[in-house]
Chains A and B, each alone.
Chain A
Amino acid sequence: MAMTLTLSDSAAQGTQDAPRRRPAPVGAHVAIKGLSHAYRRHDGKVLDGIDFEIKAGEVVALLGRSGCGKSTLLHMLSGLTHPSEGEVVINGNTIREPSPKWVMMFQAPSLFPWMTVAQNAALGLKFTRRNDQIAKRIPEILDLVDLGAFADRNAQELSGGQQQRVALARSLAPKPEMLLLDEPFSALDAFTRRNLQRDVRQIARDLGLTLVLVTHDVGEAVRMADRVIVLKANPGRVFEDTVITLSEEERSGGSDEFQAEHSRLMNIYSQAADAPGEATETTNDFTQI
């Protein structure tokens, strides 16, 4: 795969609207069918009757306040959690277990602290018996996330934003079809967060990946997503499914168009948050491994 893009700030601020040669999407097509979930049988449903599709190569944000089940839904897309009812179908196959083809990124980078940056990034290839690809692929992928110079550093020596970039490299190295982001930038400072939001969107688009992100930050959804699915809580249901029609340049913020989209989405988000609940609060716990 020829990867000619650079992610330095100057390149990214310039010419996003210039026509990019986008590869045919290698991204996963996702269909969520009649999905409902309760953590324990007699508890209220966290998710109820979720039905939607995600096109290959689409960037979708799941937006909602805490407890709306968006993170649970994302775990189900990854195969790490199984729904009580319904199914997730990716490229025609029902998901039953996690796969390096759809990789999740979490709020904490969770790097292995006894490894170097390069070793961390190579894990997916190692686990899937592609050791022969490591020597070529890892320098390439570390350059892509702007960490080429850090390959041999211990993961703990990096800043929070750099660590999250390593986690991104680790997720991208096995050439996934879909990236699942569970609020992975929320622990970072605003400047680092903006850069990563921009870079991750670009990388996903350039590689043709499907990208699904969970967020409660309206700005993040507007900056990153082609389409936003707003969820309401108790039980978690799709409240509105809306398309963000902004150019790459407008997404960097500041423009009137951005403000208009932001206000529109904030309005939907508030309505969803105020929508009356039906079930009791349920706890989000993903401690099972």
Chain B
Amino acid sequence: MDFLRKNPSVLWFLAILAVFTLAVTLMAPGTGSGAISTSFVKTLGKTLCLAMVALAMDLVWGYAGILSLGHMAFFAIGGYMIGMWQMYARTEEIVITSLAQSPIPPTATEIHQGIASQIFGVVGSSHMPEIWYFAHSLPAQLALVVLVPALLALVFGWLAFRSRVAGVYLSILTQAMTLALALWLFQNDSGLRGNNGLSGLQNIPGLGKVAQETLSVWFFWASALALALAYLLLAWVVSGKFGSVIRAIRDDEQRVRFLGYPVEGFKLFVFALTAVIAGIGGALYYPQAGIINPAELAPIASIYLAVWVAIGGRGRLYGAVMGAVIVSLLSSWFTGGRVPDVPLGFATIHWVDWWQVLLGLAFVLVTLFAPRGLGGLVDLVTGLHPPRRHGAALGPDSGSLQEREAQE
């Protein structure tokens, strides 16, 4: 209770999320009036997953000051891990059905080979790669959704933080990691079907009889629940002493180190924790998206993630969620071609073409003039006004964000 009293935003957030979930449930075709389409329910569910990875990004960037350009890679890895099980199990169902038509029951080898050639025929192989060893088991793959991002983040983070790579260099290094992973997955012999990716993920094995409109609501609920839990967890993490330490690391890493805190350990924990949250978000996102391919983890995706968090407002959890939800929904609205064109007389603005330009410019403007992002609007409502500093830094590090200290 003490925690909730100190963090009133948590209750607000959970209440808004609950109302939103209820509203969507009542309007969804599977459970309510059908005022919105199944695909829109899926879009909303996906947006909640994106909000979840934005939360993770906010913790690692807004609180700990590590601008990671690799969290969408963890997100995609989560998607790949769940996608492997889905693809395997679903192909298994199909292969068993087709083999059952012949009079002699199939052997285990025949089924296995049937699955392998079904899945990998598209990349010219009929051999099941080693990394699919656990693909038949849902619990194992669910564990991998957590373990693989965590392990990758731990190894990479340990290497990077140990050698004191920080700031811009770390950003570039994480971007390189993402690029390396994407390039590796693009190969046909990486064992994950190259640039075809994994597809048909909207069909959940064992739930073939459940209609998509019902499934979409189930996934929406799951995404909302996961988002709520992630929010609670992160709000709890940043509200305590731990939160103070990571904020201190963001503002002056050297001083925290001299105070005797194991800075590398804190950073590593934050990096791995956020990677896990991103992975779980991905595991919920891709079954709703239906397909995952290596393009999903191109470096640009991670930069967009940073864009969402920056527009929403760093250093406050609800800001990240606001940014992700608003920008990604706006983005799908503009690129969906449903926005009316603007005739200017000499030319017509097709928003499908110009949305990216608008987003890029908006991003520059937000960075320049509203470093607190959309979350700053909340400050206006609640009447919090940081002192006008005219650019003078409060702390010793010229790169740090110090508005919080100014309030308190």
A and B: partners?
Answer: no
Binding site for A on B (CB under 8 A): none
